[in-house]
Structure 1
């Protein structure tokens, strides 16, 4: 299994579910971290190709085709490959995703309904499925609310905590900063929280916040963080189950399975004169 970073809490339940399914099927899990690095991903793909593996679950480092695409195709000829959380353009493989566009749309629409009209976004880069689709949901929600898209309010970065911190610092330093920020994952949310703390701002009176991934600390910090809860354990369980089925029946039709996330509303997304509060 190749994932971007085990230190990203999003992947903990996913990996646990994959291991649970693999253990029940008498397989072992070999875990690799690509660190969103195409070259490192290529190295691990090469190692896996040399091993007697039964199959691979891959969270690809990029959606667009890279030199790794041919390597993945070669690997898939001898062992099943299931893509998790992200697609690879032009590559037909079993793929397990969440409803990124709709979930982002719901999160941003919630902020709009709470009275926010200037909503910043800190999202993953556009050549990763999650970054591209969540950006699409953000843009669509603004358009449906009649709010003009402001490029200066958007930052698309490699989804790591330091990048979320830097992006939040930039947005909050604008002459007319946003009243709310929407984030693309828990790492970016953590970066925003650190920036808000360092700038001695109050949430939600100075800046409101909502974003992807409902982490345990979302209910510990004050105010609680409004979050899009992704079905992480289910993602891993479905991906591993599909892989086991593919190992047993290689000729089965390919599948793309999209799981639904849900918005969990807490006080970080409130607005003084808004409604829809929690």
Structure 2
């Protein structure tokens, strides 16, 4: 079995340098890090995890707790986290809370009992889980959603601006009654996207009251919300849907009711969808920089592990409107 000295000899560095690389030290030259990690892979070196944990009183594992593993949004996000984690000498354990606060609390308890090196979490809104993390010495980074009742390093997208841009886009296209389907109250992404929608409506003062339906962030929730809007007295002619899975549900409902998009109903969804360009009509979306979000969260966690003190950082990344056919009312009338 190869030793740390074999790795050092293969990489042409000292054993102390190998140890620093494997422990995630940020002061090692990147070229040297690459040589060490290459030697580790080629030799099949495995550190003595038990001895390391005794020395550090913590593992080299990160818990990444996401709210819905079925949501494509998290695919590139987790990839960004994993790429940085492996380069820094950490491994990732993926946990799916399934939008269930009780499951989230269970995963948080497991991360704390296993003394994980850090936690990256897209919170489902559990105040209990948040309090447990805030009371522990384990570094925490929140992604996508703010952690309830506490300040930690956070990476989010500018949800309010993205939603306002989407709503203005529908109004500019000529739609008059723009509805919003958003997520549960108290979840920051749902609340901020709703705020962006209402602020854009207020600025334009279209006739009628805002048409808002709150539901879960699931496909069936989007379907049920769209069905409710279709049966309402103030039926909308366009809808802004605040996440990708709900957008899928809303589109399915429109198809089941033979509602033509975009002629009878304009649609903009928040979150890019891999097949958005392939369907007809193609789907207008607000795209988030998912890989960069994960990469930035992982960098913050590496920094926080290295320097536990200091004020929490908050990184807000821009969202990008990608106009396509589903919101082109004027073109559909030609």
Q: Tell me the TM-score range normalised by the shorter chain.
A: over 0.9
**In 1: Cα distance, 2:66 partner to 2:225 partner:** 24
Hey, what does 1:106 align to over in structure 2?
165
State the aligned residue count.
271
- Contact 2:160 2:195 survives alignment (8 Å): yes
| 1:113-166 deviation line (CA, Å, top 9, x unaligned) | 111110111111121000000000000000000125635x21111110000001
4+ residue stretches of structure 1 with deviation over 4 A?
none
Q: Over alpha carbons, which structure has the higher Rg?
A: 2
Structure 1 gaps of 5+ residues are: none
**In 2: Cα distance, 1:166 partner to 1:30 partner:** 34
Decide whether aligned partners of structure 1 residues 28 and 215 sit closer, same or farther in structure 2, where only a CA change above 3 A counts: same
Pick which of 160-169 and 82-91 moved more. 82-91
- Contact 2:99 2:124 survives alignment (8 Å): yes
**In 1: Cα distance, 2:322 partner to 2:269 partner:** 10
Hey, what does 1:3 align to over in structure 2?
66
| 1:185-220 deviation line (CA, Å, top 9, x unaligned) | 100110011101111121111111002011111111
- Contact 1:115 1:274 survives alignment (8 Å): no
- Contact 2:159 2:193 survives alignment (8 Å): yes
1:82-161 matched pairs, under 5 angstroms = 82-147=141-206, 150=209, 153-161=211-219
Q: CA deviation at 1:273?
A: 7.8
TM-score relative to the length of structure 1: 0.93
Decide whether aligned partners of structure 1 residues 257 and 149 sit closer, same or farther in structure 2, where only a CA change above 3 A counts: farther
Hey, what does 1:233 align to over in structure 2?
291
Q: CA deviation at 1:16?
A: 0.7
Task: Tell me which of the two structures has the higher relative contact order, counting C-alpha pairs closer than 8 angstroms and 6 or more residues apart.
Answer: 1
TM-score relative to the length of structure 2: 0.78
**In 1: Cα distance, 2:329 partner to 2:84 partner:** 44
Q: CA deviation at 1:52?
A: 2.8
| Match for residue 179 of structure 1 among 233, 237, 244 | 237
**In 1: Cα distance, 2:305 partner to 2:150 partner:** 19
Q: Secondary structure at the match of 1:97?
A: strand
